Amino acid sequence: MAISLRQIKINCSKARERMNQARYEHWAFGAFNLDDEATLRAVLAAASNKKAPVLVEVSQGEVDDIGLDTVRDMVDNLKAEYQAEVYINLDHSPSIESAKLGIEAGFEFIHIDVSQANHDASDEEIIAATKEIVDYAKLTGALVESEPHYFGGSSNLHSETIDYDEIKKTFSTPEGAKHFVENTGIDTFAAAIGNLHGKYPVPKILDLDLLKEIRNAIDCNISLHGGSDTPGHYFRDAVAIGVSKVNINSDMRYAYRTTLEKILSENKDEYSVAKLINKAVIPAVQAVVESKIDDFNSSGKALY
């Protein structure tokens, strides 16, 4: 059931206040991808158990599969059941039109990323699209996130090693971050400091000195995408520096699939897959989320 514009504005105002609080109290929201109801239950169970505020997020693939309004309804129904503090993020929205739909659906966080659809989008195109969404988000007060570059990788399990010489070509710079923030008015800057979408054979390495320079250059929230398969000490240091949102997806999907494969192989005569998911998969994904919550220093920070 759709929520009123008044309630959407209240939710967005609270989300804005809480992001500001996270930044200055040095903890971060975990932004965890939602693939289905089981994933959502795992995230909310972890949030409830840890008394941590969280974001659940969907990108265009999940939007196409589930629908914006269904996501909104699922989250509203289950957050009451779990008594969890949770907000919704539209992640890597590839167009102005899709981002506006997320705002209208009542999502508290909107990530506009036209470079996902067009890797060769110019700086001018990215800035113009981002600024249009910043202006449109005033309808509800939703927080807008973006970045001036294409963010590489994917949410799959990668077999190749990480070519850091190549990745460093797309690292954020303090000057570039400042220019982008000033010309768009975004609430959250998605920094690239060695973070990369997906799981790889080797752990990721984050340039924390660069992060400090970016933090000093801009006066808005900072997020880290591609948080999976990153040693926890990087997150703990990043949060202390001033990161207030970290995205996690691949670690959860890996736990989901490998656990499901194992329990299916162990229960060949059980055809209620949902029963097996409830028994084993949800706890496995929940454990991943809880470990990230600890790294993000957000345990015990929920309002209720």
As given in the structure block, the two tokens for residue 181 are: 């923030």
Is 91 annotated in the active site?
Answer: yes
Q: What angle do CA 150, 131, 12 make, to 5 degrees?
A: 100
- Choose, from 35, 36, 65, 91, the residue flagged as catalytic: 91
Cβ-in-10-Å burial (0-12, 13-18, 19+) of 222 comes to buried
Q: Helix %, strand %, coil % for the chain, to 5?
A: 55, 15, 30
Contact between 54 and 293 (Cβ < 8 Å): yes
Cβ-in-10-Å burial (0-12, 13-18, 19+) of 36 comes to middle
Contact between 247 and 226 (Cβ < 8 Å): yes
As given in the structure block, the two tokens for residue 76 are: 């509203």
Task: Give the dihedral sign, CA 123/128/129/130.
Answer: positive
Residues with a catalytic annotation lie at 91
